[in-house]
């Protein structure tokens, strides 16, 4: 409770910060020193906030590296730094996903990795720089905050649910960011929801009976991913996504097999196979899957961004203390929807998580337009507890 009270006070102090006259300048982050400053901005913004989880510095370096970040390969991009009275005060990244624009037939840029001290003049200067860059590239609109890696990390701005730490790869930001975007003229595009699952009570018997009935009636099984057949598993996952992802989702299109493989290689470094469940027909055809990962934020909060020289040993040691997981993707092919497949995947994941000693799970982030997944999460006892907003603005 003391930490919660401290965090609320921390937010309130920033929310009521009086405007000040200041000399704000913005410049592109192009040199190695600029990039290092860009990466370190959050340590300035969240100093003293007990809920903030420092990202790994190496992960952020990879995020800014076009050779290691698939999003940066999809179109032009730029990063900017803001200074107030000569001191670092904020940052923003902007870019163009040409593959997504071609699929959606639009000219839209994105912004990402926005951070600012509690001074609207800094935020305004950053948005001016980033949006002017997009205008010069011929874009007609901008959306964000977008994932900086085109993955499921840091999508949207946290607008409700500030009273707890973020779960792995979730966004976290001060409340005053909401005011900054509103004042600048951004409008809601859509919201994403996070659901909380309490894994401490036993799984309800009715859920077990319902899943067993569905699996017998509709002739399917659910089992953990087979890492010995990883390549064929990736092919099956792509087939499921291709057949399932709606064309009208505003910010996503089916990834290529190469993108799926690249993401798999990144995630498998921290994955637990029993938390990756795949549903199949009795003849082995994949019909659905979900991916959950241990909530490594519990460990990252204690590393202050560094794995070396001793952080890697601390990570391995503290891994055993993790008590929760985040489920961040689930797809079921259309002909097996409403046949208990989602419920079976949830059950198998719950049972695996409980066996690992986990006491909570989070399902996130689910678009507000994804009514089926929202119903599935709520039907599996999920409680909507955080909301992340994706904004848009015409240029």
Residue 379 in domain: no
In this predicted structure, what is the pLDDT of residue 311?
59
Q: Are residues 130 and 183 in the same domain?
A: yes
Residue 365 in domain: no
Q: Are residues 127 and 262 in the same domain?
A: no
CATH assignment of the domain containing 155: 3.40.630.30
Confidence tier at 313 by pLDDT (50, 70, 90): low
Q: Are residues 145 and 36 in the same domain?
A: yes
Residue 371 in domain: no
Q: Are residues 223 and 328 in the same domain?
A: yes
Q: pLDDT tens digits for 23-52?
A: 999 999 999 999 999 999 999 999 999 999
Task: Say if residue 12's pLDDT is above 60.
Answer: no
Confidence tier at 252 by pLDDT (50, 70, 90): confident
Q: Are residues 210 and 354 in the same domain?
A: yes
Residue 89 in domain: yes
Residue 333 in domain: yes
pTM of the model: 0.89
Q: Are residues 29 and 176 in the same domain?
A: yes
**Ramachandran class of 154: left when φ > 0, alpha when ψ lies in -120 to 50, beta otherwise:** left
Do 108 and 143 meet the contact criterion of CB atoms below 8 Å apart? Answer: yes
Do 358 and 151 meet the contact criterion of CB atoms below 8 Å apart? Answer: no
* Number of separate helices (H) and strands (E) present in the chain: 13, 13
Q: Are residues 241 and 130 in the same domain?
A: no
Query: Which stretches does DSSP call E strand in the chain?
Result: 24-28, 77-84, 87-96, 108-116, 141-144, 157-160, 187-198, 220-224, 276-281, 286-294, 324-332, 360-367, 383-394
Name every residue whose Cβ is closer than 8 Å to that of residue 87 and which is 6 or more positions away in sequence: none
In this predicted structure, what is the pLDDT of residue 70?
86
DSSP assignment letter at 153: S
Q: For 369-388, what is the mean pLDDT?
A: 92
Task: Say if residue 342's pLDDT is above 50.
Answer: yes
Single out the residue in 191, 224, 254 at which a domain terminates. 191
In whole numbers, what is the pLDDT of the chain averaged over residues? 90
In this predicted structure, what is the pLDDT of residue 57?
93
Smallest CA-to-CA distance from 26 within 113, 120, 127, 115 is with 127
Q: For 106-124, what is the mean pLDDT?
A: 97
In this predicted structure, what is the pLDDT of residue 62?
92
Q: Are residues 138 and 109 in the same domain?
A: yes
Task: Say if residue 113's pLDDT is above 70.
Answer: yes
In this predicted structure, what is the pLDDT of residue 151?
83
Task: Say if residue 230's pLDDT is above 80.
Answer: yes
Residue 380 in domain: no
Task: Say if residue 298's pLDDT is above 70.
Answer: yes
Do 386 and 194 meet the contact criterion of CB atoms below 8 Å apart? Answer: yes
| CA 48 to the chain's CA centroid | 23
Q: pLDDT tens digits for 180-205?
A: 999 999 999 999 999 999 999 998 89
In this predicted structure, what is the pLDDT of residue 152?
83
371 vs 91: which has the higher pLDDT: 91
In this predicted structure, what is the pLDDT of residue 1?
39
Q: Are residues 148 and 267 in the same domain?
A: no
**How far is Cα 37 from Cα 40, in angstroms, rounded to an integer?**
5
* Residue 138 domain boundaries: 2-8+15-191
Q: Are residues 275 and 226 in the same domain?
A: yes
State how many domains the chain has. 2
In this predicted structure, what is the pLDDT of residue 305?
84
**How far is Cα 97 from Cα 108, in angstroms, rounded to an integer?**
8
In this predicted structure, what is the pLDDT of residue 310?
56
Name every residue whose Cβ is closer than 8 Å to that of residue 106 and which is 6 or more positions away in sequence: 140, 141
Name every residue whose Cβ is closer than 8 Å to that of residue 258 and which is 6 or more positions away in sequence: none
Q: For 104-130, what is the mean pLDDT?
A: 97
Single out the residue in 170, 191, 212 at which a domain terminates. 191
Helix (H, G, I), strand (E, B) or coil at 63: helix
Residue 373 in domain: no
Percent of the chain with pLDDT over 90: 73
Q: Whose structure tokens read 């050779």?
A: 67
Name every residue whose Cβ is closer than 8 Å to that of residue 325 and which is 6 or more positions away in sequence: 272, 275, 292, 293, 294, 295, 353, 358, 360, 361, 362
Q: For 294-321, what is the mean pLDDT?
A: 79
Residue 168 in domain: yes
Q: For 13-21, what is the mean pLDDT?
A: 47
Q: For 94-116, what is the mean pLDDT?
A: 96
Q: Are residues 101 and 41 in the same domain?
A: yes
Task: Say if residue 78's pLDDT is above 50.
Answer: yes
Q: Are residues 184 and 247 in the same domain?
A: no
- Give 324's strand partners: 360
């Amino acid at each position: 409770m003391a930490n919660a009270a401290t965090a609320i006070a921390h937010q309130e102090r920033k929310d009521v910060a009086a405007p000040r006259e200041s000399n704000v300048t913005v410049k592109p982050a192009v040199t190695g020193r600029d990039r290092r400053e860009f990466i370190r901005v959050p340590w300035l913004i969240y100093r003293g906030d007990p809920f903030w989880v420092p990202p790994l510095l190496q992960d952020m370096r990879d995020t800014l590296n076009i050779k290691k970040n698939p999003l940066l390969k999809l179109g032009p991009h730029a990063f900017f730094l803001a200074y107030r009275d000569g001191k670092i005060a904020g940052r923003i990244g902007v870019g163009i996903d040409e593959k997504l624009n071609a699929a959606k037939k639009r000219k839209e840029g994105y912004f990402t990795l926005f951070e600012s001290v509690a001074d609207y003049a800094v935020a305004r200067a950053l948005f001016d720089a980033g949006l002017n860059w997009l205008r010069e590239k011929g874009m007609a609109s901008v959306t964000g905050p977008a994932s900086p890696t085109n993955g499921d990390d840091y999508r949207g701005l946290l607008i409700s649910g500030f009273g707890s730490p973020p779960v792995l790869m979730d966004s976290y930001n001060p409340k005053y960011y909401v005011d900054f975007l509103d004042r600048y003229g951004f409008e809601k595009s859509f919201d994403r929801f996070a659901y909380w699952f309490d894994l401490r009570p036993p799984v309800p018997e009715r859920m077990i009976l319902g899943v067993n009935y569905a699996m017998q009636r509709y002739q399917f099984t659910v089992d953990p991913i087979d890492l010995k057949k990883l390549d064929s598993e990736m092919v099956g996952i792509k087939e499921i996504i291709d057949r399932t992802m709606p064309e009208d989702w505003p910010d996503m299109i089916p990834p290529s097999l190469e993108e799926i493989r690249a993401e798999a290689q990144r995630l498998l470094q921290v994955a637990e196979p029993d938390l990756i469940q795949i549903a199949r027909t009795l003849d082995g055809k994949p019909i659905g899957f979900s991916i959950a990962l241990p909530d490594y934020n519990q460990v990252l909060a204690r590393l202050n961004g560094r794995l070396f020289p001793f952080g890697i040993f601390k990570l391995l040691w503290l891994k055993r203390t993790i008590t929760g997981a985040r489920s961040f993707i689930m797809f079921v092919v259309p002909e097996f929807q409403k046949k208990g497949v989602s419920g079976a995947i949830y059950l198998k994941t719950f049972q695996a998580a409980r066996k690992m000693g986990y006491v909570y799970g989070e399902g996130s982030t689910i678009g507000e337009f994804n009514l089926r997944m929202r119903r599935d999460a709520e039907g599996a006892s999920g409680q909507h507890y955080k909301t992340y907003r994706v904004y848009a603005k015409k240029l």
